[in-house]
Structure 1
Amino acid sequence: MKKLVVITGASSGFGKELAKQFSQDGYPLLLLARRVELLEEMNLPNTICKKVDVTNKLEFENAVRFAEEKYGKTDLIINNAGVMLLGNIENQNPQEWQQMLDVNLMGVMNGMQIVMGDMKEREGGTIINIASIAGVKPFGNHGAYCASKYGVVGLSEVARMELAPYNVRVMRICPGAVDTELLSHTTSDNIKEDYLKWKSATGVGAITPGDVARTIKFAYELPQGVNLREIQIADTKQDA
């Protein structure tokens, strides 16, 4: 059997597609999400599904150790769980800022810390963090979201530098606009409407979560000595 793959935020979007594609190729999986029933509906073989809030490090770590007892040490963790609450800095509810920073950034830090010690000892393993194009360039009404994703980019690069001597890979994936549940998280109807108008006007919409998942799986399955440090992947028509 292949080595254990851990995927957070696996109930929809990129995480769901990643789960399907890795499972199809025979990887044992630990799938984590708050909506565990959606994980179980996929009914994937050699898969453990756990209801986990990635901001709760103890809960997160307990799930990983449970899966490792059955399938061996984690060879790949994909820190994918995230929320996108778009809003203007001047008037957005600060609770939304905190939620994005907690899930998008602290959740990633928790995931990395849980596995990196074992990976260093084994001198192997891969950490893949899902950032965003909004983590490398700014967008209006994305203030706190950009802050969280810029944080993931910087965090990932620091971790890559620290783990490189131990042959552990850290990759960051920066998707552009892709149809997932993320936009539905936004509480401002005006911002959601403007976002959809922009997609319609530009024709952006060809890229799918499956395309992103295939790209991530390709990057992971390269030899351990090859590290695609950052991948920006977006619709060809997205000019921003």
Structure 2
Amino acid sequence: MADRKPLVAITGASSGIGEAVARAFSAAGHPLLLMARRLDRLEALGLPDAVLKKVDVRDRDALAAAVREAEDAYGPVDMMFANAGVARLGDIAAQPPEDWDEMIDINTKGVMNSVHAVMNGMIARKHGTLVMMSSIAGRKVYPDHTVYCGTKFFVHAVSESLREYLAPHDVRVIVVSPGIIDTEVLDGVKDETTLANYRANKAAIGGGISADIVAELIIDAYDKPQRAIVQEIVITPTRQKY
């Protein structure tokens, strides 16, 4: 269909902000490429015009193959939301290095694999948007967030460089930096002291905010004319002071 809206790709689409963004863009009429390690969760969303792929963003070839399949069905990816990530928070001196490896591989290499799968096509078309999932922890550091903060600072640095590189090609790079959001992020925290402190802080500020609020901001930024860019979205609960 000539009037069909362009394809939107989302990694980590099975829950949290990824799921909320998938629902928002589907409601707006976009076909979707939804990628996650939990295919059953993607299927449970029941969204129309969606290619669902079980993809680990550490697997560059699988991610690129999913993009090709979806583009064959719905045309070029116009927005890639590089959202997949994990938060293995904990005391850096006691934390298993394997937790560092997982965060580094998913939160940094996974983001770059997502960008790589679509960037050259966007350059050739002189149109497209990369939405990069960072965190308030990519702007400041926190105890027990050492490696996680490092991965999110990486996203900020890479995004700034990519934005400068892609600007002459009319490709936008938007960084999303949420604070405490109601998602499943705590499911990956194994350190009991860190988990208790996080929950206490969350309770002290009245809880997190809905992922739907973040999704609304992303779709609003995407819908701006291509020559206008919201460079970064920073969203936290009002009572979150740090």
TM-score (norm 1): 0.98
Q: Which residue in 2 is equivalent to 1:226?
A: 228
The residue identity in structure 2 corresponding to 1:9 is: G
Partner SS state of residue 161, structure 1: helix
Partner SS state of residue 169, structure 1: strand
Displacement of 1:100:
0.3
Any unmatched runs of 5+ in structure 1?
none
Q: Which residue in 2 is equivalent to 1:199?
A: 202
2:91–2:191 Cα contact (<8 Å) kept: no
- Counterparts of 1:127 and 1:138, CA distance in 2: 25
- Structure 2 residue corresponding to 1:13, chosen from 11, 16, 36: 16
User: Number of matched residues?
Assistant: 239
**Do structure 1's residue 48 and structure 2's residue 51 form an aligned pair?**
yes
Displacement of 1:204:
3.7
**Do structure 1's residue 99 and structure 2's residue 102 form an aligned pair?**
yes
The residue identity in structure 2 corresponding to 1:222 is: K
**Do structure 1's residue 209 and structure 2's residue 211 form an aligned pair?**
yes
Q: Report runs of 4+ in structure 1 exceeding 3 Å deviation.
A: none
Q: Which residue in 2 is equivalent to 1:78?
A: 81
Query: In angstroms, what is the RMSD of aligned CA positions?
Result: 0.7
Displacement of 1:237:
0.6
Displacement of 1:198:
1.1
The residue identity in structure 1 corresponding to 2:48 is: P
Q: Which residue in 2 is equivalent to 1:159?
A: 162
TM-score (norm 2): 0.97
- Counterparts of 1:80 and 1:122, CA distance in 2: 23
- Counterparts of 1:103 and 1:41, CA distance in 2: 24
Q: Deviations for 1:129-182, whole angstroms, at most 9, x for unmatched residues?
A: 010000000011000000000000101111111100100001100000111111
Displacement of 1:202:
2.6
Partner SS state of residue 139, structure 1: coil
Q: Which residue in 2 is equivalent to 1:66?
A: 69
- Counterparts of 2:27 and 2:165, CA distance in 1: 33
Identity of matched residues, %: 44
User: What does 1:106-125 correspond to in 2, within 5 Å?
Assistant: 106-125=109-128
2:174–2:231 Cα contact (<8 Å) kept: yes
Any unmatched runs of 5+ in structure 2?
none
Q: Deviations for 1:37-75, whole angstroms, at most 9, x for unmatched residues?
A: 110111111001000000100000000000000100110
- Counterparts of 1:36 and 1:202, CA distance in 2: 34
Displacement of 1:85:
0.6
1:204–1:237 Cα contact (<8 Å) kept: no
1:204–1:238 Cα contact (<8 Å) kept: no
Q: Which residue in 1 is equivalent to 2:182?
A: 179
Displacement of 1:183:
0.9
The residue identity in structure 2 corresponding to 1:229 is: Q
Q: Which residue in 2 is equivalent to 1:237?
A: 239
- Counterparts of 1:11 and 1:32, CA distance in 2: 8
- Counterparts of 1:209 and 1:29, CA distance in 2: 18
Displacement of 1:87:
1.1
1:7–1:79 Cα contact (<8 Å) kept: yes
- Counterparts of 1:42 and 1:195, CA distance in 2: 29
Partner SS state of residue 175, structure 2: strand
Displacement of 1:89:
1.6
User: What does 1:118-157 correspond to in 2, within 5 Å?
Assistant: 118-157=121-160
